[in-house]
Structures are given as C-alpha cells and as structure tokens.
Structure 1
Amino acid sequence: MRFYIKTFGCQMNERDSEKVEAILFENNWQQVENPEDADLIIVNSCAVREKAENKLYSELGRLKFINPKAKIVAMGCVAQINYEKLKHIADIVIGTNTIDRFYDIARDKSKNGVFILDKMTDPDHIFPHTSRISAFVDIMYGCNNFCSYCIVPYTRGREISRNKDAIIEEIKQLIDKGTKEVMLLGQNVNSFENSKNYRFVDLLYDINKLDGLKRIRFTTSHPKDFSKELALAIRDLDKLCEHLHLPFQSGSDRILKLMKRGYTKEQYLSKALMYREIVKEGSITTDIIVGFPSETQQDFLQTVEVLKTVEFETSFSFKYSKRPLTRAANMDNQVDEEEKLKRLNYLQKLQADITQKKLKAYEGKTIEVLVEGQSKKHNGFSGRCRQNIVVNLEFRDNITEGKIANVVITKALKHSLVGKVQGQ
C-alpha cells in the first residue's frame, strides 16, 4: 500500500505528520511523492490563519480530482474544528487528539468516518520517529492562554504536560537510534509542569544529563512566563542552544491588552534585553502581527520601536487574520487589507536590514555547526549553528550527517551563512 502526505503549518504539525509517516512505515506502507500513485492521501491542516485554512480545501479538491480512487484523510487543526464540513469532502477526518487512529488505518481496519476528541486519551504515548539527526519531541499539548486572535486553544485543546519520564524515555530511544539534537515542542513550553516542584527548567537540566545527546532546542516561550532562571539555563547548560524564540506580537500596550497577551511593551523589552545581557552569544527571534483590529499608525510605530530596540536575528511577521471562535473576529475597527500590507512590507524591509547586519557580523568567525544533510539550495551539505542559523558548507570532504564541525564563516547570504569546515 502506498501513501502521500501534505503538511501545512508549524513544527507541531510537522511532528504530527512524522508520527503518521512512522506508523505507516512500521506497517510496511510505502511513501510516494506523486499523489496520483497513492492509495491513501493525507492532508495535515493548519488553522492559524484564514489563508492556511483555505489552502486545505483547495488542496483536497485538487487531490480528489487527480486521484479519485484514493482514500482521502483530512487531519490536523482545521479537521479538529471544521469536521462537519470536511466529512463531506474527505473519507476520514482525524483531529489533533486522535492521531492514534492511524494505527488502525495502517492495518487497513479503519472505516470511513470522523474521529474527534476534545482531549488526548494518552498524552504520554511515545509515537515513533522517522527523523535521524534532529528530532521533534512533544513535551506538552494545547494552550490555556486564549489570546483574542488565536484559534489554537480550540484546535489543540487545553494544556496537558507529558510525564517527564515519558519524555526522557522518548529521548533515550532517539539517542539509541543516532539522534544528536532534540527540539522540545509546546505552545508555551514555560507552562510545562509535572508538579509544583518540577517545571520546564528542571526538565532541561535532566535532559542535559543524557549521554549521547549533543544539542537541545525548544519552542515556544511566552513572554509573560519567561524567566531569568530560563535565561541562565540557556547560558549554563552545555547542550542547550543559545537561541530563544519569544513572540511579542505588538509593541502597543493598548493592542497587547486587546490581544490578551498578559504583558506590556516595557515588560517584554525588559525580558528580551535581560536575555541579551545574560546570553552574550545568543540569538533571539520573534513573531509579530500587524493590522490587529483598531491598530493605529501610532500603535504600529510602537511595534517598529521594539524591533529596532531588540534587533531580532529574524522575525516572522503576518497580517492579522480573522479566525472563527476568537474574540478579535468580532471587534470593531478592522484594519483594511491595503493598510495591513503596507505596514507588513515596511516591517519586513526593516527586519531584512537588521538580519543582514547580524549575519554579516559572523563573517570571519568560527562557529559550531551540526551537519544535517544535503543543502536544499546549495551544492553541498548544510546544518545549523547553535544560534539556529542555517550554514551552507563549501566543501564536502570529511563531512558526514550528524557531525558537529567547527566552521569558518566566509560569507553572509540573505537568510543564511556560508562557511568551510576548519582545517579543510
């Protein structure tokens, strides 16, 4: 039996798709690159923006047209909330909390239907992996923040922290298979809690003790919960990479309050600059929304000020998108699309200039790079440095996947670096 899978969305969606692939592989299914060759077609959906949701419906229609004989599965965030609509399009609809249904599908026992649960029955279940060098590991699921623009609490449910022993065991299994780096996943990793006396930082210290593991990353931190203790862990733990993703979304206190973000501009800046001071060689990235309902030019300029003050290595900026079930969708004074685009273009141009300056500063330096495999855009291998910047390697001699190499940076590109392994 053959399957094709298409994934939209974030790292959580990527990990969910990997779970599906691994389950099917373990049951002797073959993955194909052409959907016309598949017996089973799976589309994993994202609902964080309207554009991403529309892509799902468009893709399902296209795939059904080119391969009408295949069984179609719609899964993911859109499936979790719009299953009534999707059940008329797809043969099987699987929500974010029912990925274990793929064990039945893999054995060709699952009937057509809708499989949706409000919460996971077994969050500590260790799903298989297909990744080799670097692997995603869920440490928690869901979100309790209910930001007024965000649909995630409705698509992923309330927060559930996995048991620390299950997390450690999963990572040990990965190490035994040759994994060098783990990326710990959660909508807000700072909220991880096994008990009042065991929090996210405690988990990081325990993972750091594991023999054979070379690197630890995590995403995402929420500013209201980010602490000096976590910044010190990033500085002090030898396996924990010096990179922090800390979304600020807006620089306007008025907009932040409407967003229900739980912090002010000054509180965010205090934490971001505290991280810069403690982690001297660290990088920091962020998320930004422009054009939130009632955002004025003055509000937007406050966002620009944060960008200029922190000088993020990169930022992921988006136009505000109305999402069903969220409070912001019904707010007055929605900003028109033309103005949103104007602000977004300005912000992205500013960030591009900052990013280029940051990358140029690496030229001539020697940095540690984990070689991940063949570069997608360059003739050679590529990997990431501890600051989470892609590094393309000039020469292939004596380089293998999974190797950690000292690399001399020879050139800064638009979004990445070029370098050669020291001694070659």
Structure 2
Amino acid sequence: MDLEIFDRMESEVRGYVRSFPVIFNQAKGSVLTDESGKEYIDFFSGAGTLNYGHNNPILKKKLIEYLNTDGVVHGLDMATSAKKYFMETFERVLLKPRKMNYTLQFTGPTGTNAVEAALKLARQVKGRSNVVSFTHGFHGVSGGSLAVTANEKFRDAAGVSLHNTAFMPFDGYIGPDVDTIAYFERMLEDPSSGLDLPAAVIVETVQGEGGVNVASWRWIRELEKLCRKFDMLLIVDDIQVGCGRTGSFFSFEAAGIKPDIITLSKSLSGFGLPMSLVLLKPELDVWKPGQHSGTFRGNNLAFVTAAQALDSYWSDDQFQNETRRKERIVRDWLENIVHSFPEAGFSVRGRGLIQGLVCDATPELANKIAKQAFAHGLVIETSGAQDEVLKILPALTIEDAQLTRGLELIERSVAEVLKQEGKKSKVLKFGA
C-alpha cells in the first residue's frame, strides 16, 4: 500500500493513519475496504461519529434528494428550510417527549466549537472565570477546550499556559471506596482550600478518550446537587457518548438530571457531516446578536441527515432497546475474555456500545492487541492515559454477524499477543 504521498506531504501531526496504515476507498455500514480490496470490520466508527454506520442508506437517500433540489448548503445562521425542519424534528422527537426545555445554539463545525461556546457562555452568566473539569477528561484541543482537558499529551502541545481551570477527581479515580463528590464539596466549603468558586463544572458521564471511565448514576446525581448548592452551572459534554452511544439518546437520561448546558457533535448529523450544537436553558441565553460566531455553523446538509436520523431511529424505543441488547453481547464476550486469560489481569468497563477491555496490569498490551486485530481485519483504537484500554466503539446499527466476527477477532488477537508475550518472557527468564 503506497502511503508515500502522505509521508511526504502531510504534517507529522497525523495520527490514525499510523495505526491503520492502508488507503481506504470504500465504506458501507460497518465495513471499510482498502484499495487492495481487503475488508475491515469497523469497531472505531470515526471516533464515535458514525453511530449509524458508513453511508447509511436511509440518510444518504435523503441527502441526495436534498442536493438534487438545489437546497441551500451553506447558510451561516440564516433561516433555511433544512434548519427549520431539523429544529422542529429535534423538538418533536427529543425534547418534548423528555419534557426538556432548551434553546439551541449552532456552533459548528466540530465538538470543540460547542465546548468553547459553552464555557464562554457559562463565564458570562456567572461572572466568574474558573471552571472545574475532571481527571482524565477530554473536551477538545482548541484553547478553552484544551484548558479543561486533562491529558498531558494534548496539553503539552498548547504552547501557552492553560488557566482558569481546576481539576477534581472523577468517580473512582482514587479507588472505589473514596467519595470524590464529598472531596469536591469540602474544597468548595473551605475558604482556604485554594479553589476559586467556579462558574461551571464540565463533565463526561463516560470518559471515552480518558479510558472508558464510567460515572455511576449516584455520582452524577450528587454532582448536580453540588452544582445547585454552590451556584455552579452543570455542563454535560455528550459529544462522544451522546446520540445513543450509551443506549438512550442523551447519556445522562437514566440519572434523571437536568444539565444547564449540553454539548453535542460527532454523530449528531448521523452521516459524518460536521455539526455541533449547544443546548442551553433559556434563561442562560444572554448572548448579544453575533457575539459568538462561526462561518460553518449552518451546515444544511448536516441538518438534513440529522433530522432524518432522529425520525428514523428515535421516534420510539426500538433502536435504544437494540443497542442495549448488543451491549449485552459485547459485555458478555469481553467478560469471557477476562475469565479465559486470567494471567493477563484484564478487566471490563463501559456503558452501552462504548466498552473497554482494560489492560491495567500491562498497559502496552492494548496497542499490541489493536495492531494484531488490524492485521486480521478489524479497525479498533485504544484510549486512556497510557493507551491501556482497547476501546470497542462499533456502529449502533452493526449487524449481529459483524459484531460477533469483530469480537472473535479481538479474542483471537488477545490469544496471539499473550502467546507472543509468553514466549518473550520465557526467553528473558532463560537468559537471566
């Protein structure tokens, strides 16, 4: 596979092509095909952007129909028919059935744009600059978003000091028996703790990039209570784990909370088209006209596919029930791997169709398993502070046979890597 043009012309910053060193030229459903004709099952889904699979036929049909009518493609924040229909559908399918009342702010084109707008708005509303984020949190790589991102790799690339953020321990960070909300509360209560009263708290209910760390429903509810007690806005970043990834459309629904601000992107358009959105309680809408802007905040093609995705998949409970059924398939398979290879010290965590095979005992195993799986025809990535988690992120629409085949490839790759590692260990022991 000739990657010479990429090596010669593209910046060293490129990342995923190093993990998947082939040239893909076709994609359908949960299968990617490279230029040589080799097929790969996709357990990556564009980092969570393709919850409905590649070239979803329902969404593609609607998109082509719209293009054939010469519908508006680029609209800034002007009123268009596509935008009107998206908002009507969003209200009808999502907000009204859930008794949610939010104003919509279109920030496009990517998730970090939504986070930037949410942080800026929270600071305006409260008149305070400090924001609390959490250990292992990831919220984007532009200035404000990067300041609330914990990962050292991303922070080191900033080139400037990252201020106005304090980090608190996420649920389980200090161990299962430590109540990190109580710790956070003590910091807020103590005027000599050094913690400036935050304007807002930003949180992912499941930290994808951070290593598939799952907050309990109790922890999330207690966090909301803390925000109310200390007059802080609660921002839920649902960019990767929203849009059905955890089962329900919004990842926090089972907790029964009402965030002040919600950020959405990735799979919002449903078709891989750039789109991001901020949901804010109406009383927080203190923006002056044009005060926050962006050339590509009106991607009408994304509005068309996003509305169709909502109509096609979220008008009843069938789709989320299917996601939960597939969750059980993945979870059971991963738990079986844990029990089948006890010497590896694996564990499993996740919610919905974001699941992680955790290699805490030997972090480097995760990347070796991912590499071996790719050689067998499975696209899968790792996450976590040390890339110690094999992250399973298939399309929610994946067929059972493809899902099972992908899980088989993971199990095969685990067995092969552990066998190779065992041979190395014996050689080292003999040499010693």
Structure (1 or 2) with the greater helix fraction: 2
**Fold match (TM-score > 0.5):** no
Greater relative contact order structure (CA < 8 Å, 6+ sep): 2
| TM interval, short-chain normalised | under 0.3
